[in-house]
Structure formats: structure tokens, C-alpha cells
Amino acid sequence: MSLILDVTHERLPLAREFRISRGAKTHADVVVVQLHWRGFTGRGEAVPYARYGESIDNTLSQLNALAPQLTHIDDHARLPQLMQAGAARNALDCAFWDLTANYRQTSVGELTGLTPPAQCVTAQTVSVGAVAQMQQEALSLGQAQLIKVKLGPDEVVEKIRAIHHACPDSQFIVDANEGWSIDLLKEVAPQLKDLNVALIEQPLPVADDAALEGYECPVPLCADESCHTSDNLSTLKKRYQAVNIKLDKTGGLTEAITLYNTAKSLDFKIMVGCMVASSLAMAPAFLLCNDVDFVDLDGPVLIKNDRPDGFEIRHGVMRAPANLLWGTGISL
């Protein structure tokens, strides 16, 4: 029996408008891959990202064009030769892992040697807005242990100060999404350190990264848009102290594991992050969260209605149900 590939586009309404420095969205547009083999099914979910030249249409086209070349469950090993890292390969790679686990009646954790945490603290996100609006959104998180604050270049310190006043015991990740300059970073970083900011994520545009070389920031800097796979870690080591591993950038769990191990060997701090998506997209990344510095997998909280058998996230603590929707070796 030949492998069967089904690819669909799903639009998932968000619980509230989500804003970063590049724009706002009210829905998460995701691509879901289902692989069928000898009565077993595996699923994967990915988010094409316009910042990387991806769209729903070109992701669907890429996957459908590849379908005739995928005839056997063992074709999983050929994906890096067939596709570039990105959302399309992520959805397919994760579907292959889930299919293999179901076919072999074991878990992806057993197949990869990864042990997921019993639970972990995930960052919860405050999106870009006016000072009072962002402060109120932070308050609504109920004194979360870790809050990720999306910030453009305006009123940086004022916004963090207001959020810190509302949540004095919380730790913060500031995510600039490439929206700052080196001069702004140098101006605000010392003040942010005093306001419980533990990490500044991608402050400069990727093309301006070299300006970070030689700068000793008082807050660790994390590469997000600048870090996709393990290929350029030696260069990033001169500029950043942490990397954000997202499966939509690595092209799936397979390369994410390589990036994780290589980054560990180079003494990077590690964040495991996500695009805005459901628990189906979070589940493969959750396997990497047992020994990392920061987890940012709050996608299911941002979705209005998460998928059945998804993660439970309460007060920032993330737990998987006994029958998680992906990777357990139990076909749902």
C-alpha cells in the first residue's frame, strides 16, 4: 500500500487580536498534513510565515507537488534532500514522526530518545498596544511567572515599567521582532534589566546583526529570525547568547533536535518557541522542553478553540493530557 498524503488549510480564530511590530491578526492560518500508511495516520501542523517568503498557497503547492515522490514510510529520511527548511517541511516531518509512532506502537519520545517534561512554565504573550492596554493585558494573565512582551520601538521602557508595576513578581522576555536599532537597544537595555527582563529577543533586523558583535548587553540577547537551522550558529555565537528554536523555521522536529544539540554544545541558552497555532503544532516542540532555559509555547491559549486532546495551560503552567493528540503512539 502506497503512502497517502492529505494537505489542508485551516483558519483558526484567535481568542483576541494578536499584534507584533509588523502587524496584527485575528486568525491563525495553518497547514495540516495527514499521512496514511497501512491503516495508520500521522498528523502535523505548520504556519507559513510571510516574513520568510511563505504563504498558504505556496506551502500547499509545495506539499502537493512532492506527494508523488513519497511512497513509503521510510521516505521520512529523504525530506532534507527533497525540501528546504520551513513550514512545509515542518508539517510533513512532524506527520512522519506521528505516523511512525502510531505504526510502531510507541511514542515519538521513545523513537528520538527525548523525554518531555511532566510540566513546564511557558511564557504568555502580551501583544503590542498602548501602555495602559498592555498593562491591562498583563494583569489579565494572573501574575504569570513568565510574560513575553511584544514591543516596537516606541515607549519601550514606559511599557515595560507599567507591566512590571502590574506584575512585579513576573519575569519578562521582550520581543522586538527586528523592530529596533542598535542605538535604541543600547539606550534601553540597562533599564530593562532593572525591570525583571531576562531576555531580549531579536532586537535588530537580521541584516543588521553584525552591529551586535562586541556589544556586551546587560540582558542576554536571543536570535529568532536570525536562527533557522544549525548551519550558522558559529556566526551567531559572536552576536547572541540564546537561540529560539521554532519548528516552522527548522523544518520540523528532526532538524530541531540537531539545532538543540549543537546549540547546547556551544553553550547557548535555549528557548523553544512557536508561531500562533494549536496544540498539534506545539506537541513536537514540547519534546524539547525538558532542559531548556525558556519555553514559549502558548499558542493554544491564543487560539479561541484549541484541538481536542491538546495541552492544558493554567497560570502559565503547561501540561500534556494522558492521550496527547500527537506523538503518543495511539491513533486518535
User: Which residues are designated catalytic?
Assistant: 150, 246
Tell the burial category of 24 from Cβ atoms under 10 Å away from its Cβ (0-12, 13-18, 19+).
exposed
Does an H or E element contain 63, and which?
helix 56-66
**C-alpha grid cell, residue 126:** 502580551
Distance in angstroms (rounded) separating the CA atoms of residues 150 and 156: 10
Distance in angstroms (rounded) separating the CA atoms of residues 296 and 298: 6
DSSP 73: G
Torsion sign (Cα): 201, 170, 285, 261: positive
How many Å is the Cα radius of gyration of the chain? 19
Strand duo 317-319 + 312-314: pairing: antiparallel
| CA nearest neighbour of 247 among 31, 18, 7 | 31
**C-alpha grid cell, residue 100:** 511512525
Q: How many residues does the chain have?
A: 332
